[in-house]
Structure formats: C-alpha cells, structure tokens
Amino acid sequence: MFKASGTNLLDLQAEQVSDWLKSFDTIISDGDGTIWFDDTAIEGAVEVLNALQSRAGKKIYLMTNNGLKTRHEIFQRAQKLGIQIPNESHIISPTQTIVDYLKQHKTFDRTKRVYVVGNAAIARELTDAGIESFGAGKAEELQPGDKWQEFVQREFSTPAAAANIGAVVVGWDEYFSYCKLARACHILSSNPDCLFLVTNKDAVHKYPSLHIPGTGAFVAAIETCAERPALEMGKPNPLVLEPLLSTAALQPERTLMIGDCCKVDVTFARNCNMQSLLVGTGSYQLDQLRENPQLPMPDVYLPKLGNLLPYI
C-alpha cells in the first residue's frame, strides 16, 4: 500500500493505518538507528515490535548489516533489551550469512581456511561453525626499515602464502593497512576459485565532527587491485533473504521492511518486492527525501518506530 509515496502514517486516519497494518504478516526490522543505538533501545521501539508480535500476530525478524557481532551476540543484545523474538534463527546478520554461504558452496570444504580482513566477530562465527580462519582482529604493518617491495617478495613468493585458502572475507577493520590489502590481493589473484565475500558495502559512517570509513571503502581497495567484485552478504543484496524465501517462511508482498537508511533498507525492500517503512531516527527525515528525488522513496514513513504503538 502507498507504494513509494513516502506517506507519513501520522497524517493518516486511524482506520487507514489499521488497513495498512493488515496488509502484511511478516516484519523484518533493521537494528542500528531503527530499534537501537548500540546497547540502548530507541524509545518505544521494543514495545512496538513486541506488540506487533503478540497483539497483531506478526512474525518478526531482525536484520542487521552490522558485522561487528556474531548472530548469537546480536540475539543476546535483543534479549537484554526485552525484544521477544522466539530464537536466534529470527536474526539475520552478515557473519551468519557468510557461514551459511561457505558451508553450502561447492568450492569450499573443510580443508580450506579463510583469510579475514576484518574484526574478531567474523572469526568467532567461523570458529563456531568449525571453519578455520586467520587475520581477523589483527594488525599487520610494515616494520620500521622494511621496504614494501621486500615485504611482498618475502611474504608472497612462496606457494604457502596462498595455499588452501578457500575464501577472503572482508568486514569492518580498524587495522586496515597496505599489508592486509596486498595479502588479500595476492590470495585472490593467485586463485580464481577463492571466494571473495564482504559483510556489507556501507561507504561511510558520519558523525558530527568526523567521518569514519565503512566496510565498503576497505573492500573497494581490494576489488580495485584484485580486479574482481566481492559478493555482498548484507542488505541491499537480495541474497540475504534467500534462506527465508527457500523455506517459504514469508511472502515478500506481505512482508514489511522497517529501516532508517534509504540506500540500504528501502533499496533492499524494493529488490525483494517487499513493502517499506522508513523511520526518521537515522540519517533521513521526510523533508530530506522530498529534497532529494534520487533517493529511493519508502512506501510509508514515521519519525520513530515508537509512533506506531497507539495503532496496534
């Protein structure tokens, strides 16, 4: 309903909102900026999700692009904030999507290890699934007096440097460096069968006085040198919905995607033929949407998810 119109639900009659609520059975909600900021719930968001589940009978899934926690750790946060989802399988996160993808991929087997340019959560998720990895959460820098030409000759001239590595996985990495970039490029260019995955391609995270590079920036450097694209294991790649689609756990046309980011959440909804609700608790408010017609327009809008409570 209200397809791509950016209709503010607060401008509608109660009956119209009620009709809208009946147009979907399943809800997929984003995490950061939609229902929580780190470990703090956004006002009213938890109450709305729980009410949608218990009073309105909707099935609830949480879907995050945050690759800094394992799926289990995200579930623990959800529980701590009082979100009443039945179990862990109602959470879709990049680290779990990566593990699921590797386990079913024909070129990846248990003799292979994974090189991670990213944080330790990726390694934790891989280890839990019995997959060996190296590099996660670690720095790798040129030592004083070491020239880059000597580093690459020393590190990459032996077959061992790229042997038995079945995938390069990229996530957010505050230790990103030339050495890691060079290692990832060497592994990928030595073996065309090596998989190349990234948790998400968020370009940048904007704070008032500074801009922090997103995972998209790290992976762009590797893609440029390796001359191969990385497979995105987060929104807006419709791939992340595959497990729910293949088990018929939901019907896209009767599923609502709730998020705070147009370029990620609304685009994802469009890519999967789902309905979309944009909340204004992230970077986008309604007037910004009106001023920037190139941004994907959600079906409906609310200043914050908590605004929905009186209607449920």
Residues serving a catalytic function are 30, 32
From residue 255, alpha-carbon distances to 150, 276, 309 in Å are 55, 9, 19
- The answer on whether 205 is annotated among ligand-binding residues is yes
In the complex, what is the shortest distance from the CB of residue 286 to another protein, in angstroms, rounded to a whole number?
22
In the complex, what is the shortest distance from the CB of residue 220 to another protein, in angstroms, rounded to a whole number?
4
- The answer on whether 32 is annotated among ligand-binding residues is yes
The SS3 of residue 66 is coil
Nearer to another protein by Cβ, of 237 and 276: the residue is 237
Nearer to another protein by Cβ, of 129 and 217: the residue is 217
307 neighbors 280 (Cβ within 8 angstroms): no
Q: Which helix (H) or strand (E) holds 8?
A: strand 7-8
In the complex, what is the shortest distance from the CB of residue 126 to another protein, in angstroms, rounded to a whole number?
22
Report the distance separating Cα 39 and Cα 163, nearest Å.
Answer: 40
Sorted by sequence, the CB contacts under 8 Å of residue 191 that are 6+ apart come out as: 162, 165
CA-closest candidate to residue 29, choices 303, 279, 295, 253: 279
- The answer on whether 235 is annotated among ligand-binding residues is yes
- The answer on whether 30 is annotated among ligand-binding residues is yes
Nearer to another protein by Cβ, of 210 and 248: the residue is 210
The SS3 of residue 293 is coil
- Interface residues with another protein (CB under 8 A)? 139, 141-142, 147-149, 151-153, 156-157, 173-178, 181-182, 185-186, 189, 203-204, 206-207, 209-214, 216-218, 220-227
In this structure, which amino acid lies at residue 152?
A: V
In the complex, what is the shortest distance from the CB of residue 176 to another protein, in angstroms, rounded to a whole number?
5
Return binding residues for Mg(2+): 30, 32, 260
Specify binding-site residues for substrate.
Answer: 205, 235
